[in-house]
Structure 1
Amino acid sequence: MFLSDYHSHSLVSFDGKFPMIDMAQAAVAGGLNELCITDHCDFLDENGVPVRTYDWDKALAEYDAADGFHSRTGFSLRLGLELGMPYLDPAVAERICAQPRLDFVLGSVHNQSPERGGVDFYYADYSTAAACREALDDYFASLALLAETDFYDVLAHIIYPLRYMKPADGPVTLEGYEDRLDALLRTAIGRGRGMEVNTWCGRTLEDWMPLLKRYRALRGEIVTVGSDAHAPDNVGKGVPQAFELLREAGFRYVTVFRRRKPEFIPII
């Protein structure tokens, strides 16, 4: 069965430590057919400080150093990018995305809006369910802005803040956000974009099924699978199970990308 991991990070990311070649070797050893490196390019850092640069020289040097993995028989290494909140500076986002060797762009929101301080959602206040709802309101407002741009191929980890929300006064779900999610997915579909199933290194799987079913009902077709690995040991974690979820949700294809163009691979 074809298996692809379209969300991974190397030492080019601020929170990565491993070269791309190590990530590629782990992918091959784990039985993957394709790995896309999607290093971080967030327009706000984890503390909410604006950032408007990406080190393409470093990324391309890392990618070229893994040359033996670019088109091996049965395996491909692709060059991607995880672009965070690009709507904050469209002109810079356009320049960053103009790299001719770029295969794929994940569009993401990791930070609270500048109006709320811009700090990464990892550091937000989740002490109560009400605080979690306030954070989710802010998050989905930002995702809606992202979805209207041309600076992504697939929306990354749509349920991202739920990773960290464990308030003392009860579990937090996306109940009540159905209309916002539908609008978000419709926007992406209408612009020829898609969504990803992000396994968070195998920790989030069944959580995706309701969203996948809704995306499918809205006639969404472009879907990628990613582990969000930042180390070789996590490359591909949860990917086979995510492919099973896609099949159960009625998808017949998974999507890969070549120079920002989608290709559809049958899920067998």
Structure 2
Amino acid sequence: MYLTDFHTHSVLSFDGQAPLSQMAAAARAAGVRELCVTDHCDFLDEGGAPVRTYDWDRAVEQFEQTAGALPDGALTLRLGLELGMPHLDPAAAQAICGRDGVDFILGSVHNLSPERGGGDFYYEDLTDPAVCYGVLDDYFASLLALARTDYYDVLAHIIYPLRYMNPAVTLERYTDVICAILRAAVERGRGIELNTCRGQTLEPWRPILALYRACGGEIVTLGSDAHTPGDVGRGIPEALALLEQCSFRRFAVYQRHQPVFHTL
């Protein structure tokens, strides 16, 4: 089984806990064959303040030091980024995405829109289902705007806000907009991510994967969303099994923004 983890965060992310060298060592211990570091660059910070730059030089330095210390054939290491809400500033997004030597860009939404204050979902009180649905209305509008741009290779964790919401909340009412998001990605040759949330989330992906297949989607990457070494690769074997159950025959990794497929 070829295990890959294309959504991980090092200490260069505001919420990362370890340097890339430790994340890579954990990947090897977990049997992961290919690892992509995708540190955060959100165009809105946790409080909703605008951010429009990313320190690629620091990221490249960490990447090259880690890759250079790996034994030959021990682990394939890829350089990526998780770019949050790039549709808010196309010029800044283009500058960040245009960096040479980058393999992979995840496009994501972690925040309310600027019109709603821009706060990170993690810090919102999402115990009231009515509030949750208002947040989801805003989230999917932002995700659709992002999906209609070219500033990503794969859409990250489409069901992300559910992590923090009342368990009674479902996505049933959002089928139409989710299909619009998936079609926008497919039309641009982009993919989606099956994000295991450190091995905690698998079954909720089943209906999303079915919709993606129905929209003609074929490109799926796998990610643990690990922020600590102990979470690298968590849930990836189970995610591969789920893909096969959902009639997928292959999954993707990325090299220089191009998908490379592996048979399940």
- Structure 1 segments, 4+ long, off by >3 Å, are 68-72
- Would the aligned equivalents of 2:224 and 2:232 in 1 still touch at CA under 8 Å? yes
Percent identical residues: 59
Q: Tell me the distance in 1 between the aligned counterparts of 2:12 and 2:101.
A: 16
Q: Tell me the distance in 2 between the aligned counterparts of 1:219 and 1:84.
A: 25
Structure 1 gaps, min length 5: none
Judged with a 3 Å threshold, the aligned counterparts in structure 2 of structure 1 residues 235 and 128 are, in CA distance, closer, same or farther, namely same
Q: Tell me the distance in 2 between the aligned counterparts of 1:230 and 1:215.
A: 27
**Following superposition of structure 1 onto structure 2, how do residues 146-157 of structure 1 map, counting pairs within 5 Å?**
146-157=146-157
Q: Tell me the distance in 1 between the aligned counterparts of 2:91 and 2:37.
A: 24
Q: Tell me the distance in 2 between the aligned counterparts of 1:70 and 1:139.
A: 39
Structure 2 gaps, min length 5: none
* 2:27 paired residue number: 27
SS in structure 2 of the partner of residue 66 of structure 1: helix
TM-score (norm: length of structure 1)? 0.96
Q: Tell me the distance in 2 between the aligned counterparts of 1:118 and 1:242.
A: 31
Judged with a 3 Å threshold, the aligned counterparts in structure 2 of structure 1 residues 213 and 115 are, in CA distance, closer, same or farther, namely same
- Confirm or deny that 1:179 pairs with 2:176: yes
* 1:86 paired residue number: 86
- Would the aligned equivalents of 1:69 and 1:75 in 2 still touch at CA under 8 Å? no
* 1:217 paired residue number: 214
* 2:227 paired residue number: 230
* 1:40 paired residue number: 40
Q: Tell me the distance in 2 between the aligned counterparts of 1:226 and 1:92.
A: 26
* 2:97 paired residue number: 97
- Confirm or deny that 1:128 pairs with 2:128: yes
Judged with a 3 Å threshold, the aligned counterparts in structure 2 of structure 1 residues 62 and 130 are, in CA distance, closer, same or farther, namely same
| RMSD between superposed Cα atoms in Å | 1.2
* 1:58 paired residue number: 58
SS in structure 1 of the partner of residue 38 of structure 2: strand
Report how far residue 218 of structure 1 moved: 1.7
Report how far residue 69 of structure 1 moved: 6.2
Task: State how many pairs are aligned.
Answer: 264
Q: Which amino acid is the alignment partner of residue 249 of structure 2?
A: R
Report how far residue 98 of structure 1 moved: 1.0
* 2:6 paired residue number: 6
Judged with a 3 Å threshold, the aligned counterparts in structure 2 of structure 1 residues 217 and 56 are, in CA distance, closer, same or farther, namely same
SS in structure 2 of the partner of residue 81 of structure 1: strand
User: After the TM superposition, which of the residue ranges 14-23 and 133-142 deviates more from structure 2?
Assistant: 14-23
Q: Tell me the distance in 2 between the aligned counterparts of 1:221 and 1:67.
A: 30
TM-score (norm: length of structure 2)? 0.97
- Would the aligned equivalents of 1:70 and 1:77 in 2 still touch at CA under 8 Å? no
Judged with a 3 Å threshold, the aligned counterparts in structure 2 of structure 1 residues 13 and 70 are, in CA distance, closer, same or farther, namely same
Q: Tell me the distance in 1 between the aligned counterparts of 2:127 and 2:104.
A: 36
SS in structure 1 of the partner of residue 162 of structure 2: helix
- Would the aligned equivalents of 1:27 and 1:235 in 2 still touch at CA under 8 Å? yes
**Following superposition of structure 1 onto structure 2, how do residues 239-250 of structure 1 map, counting pairs within 5 Å?**
239-250=236-247
* 1:190 paired residue number: 187
* 2:17 paired residue number: 17
* 1:263 paired residue number: 260
Report how far residue 53 of structure 1 moved: 1.1
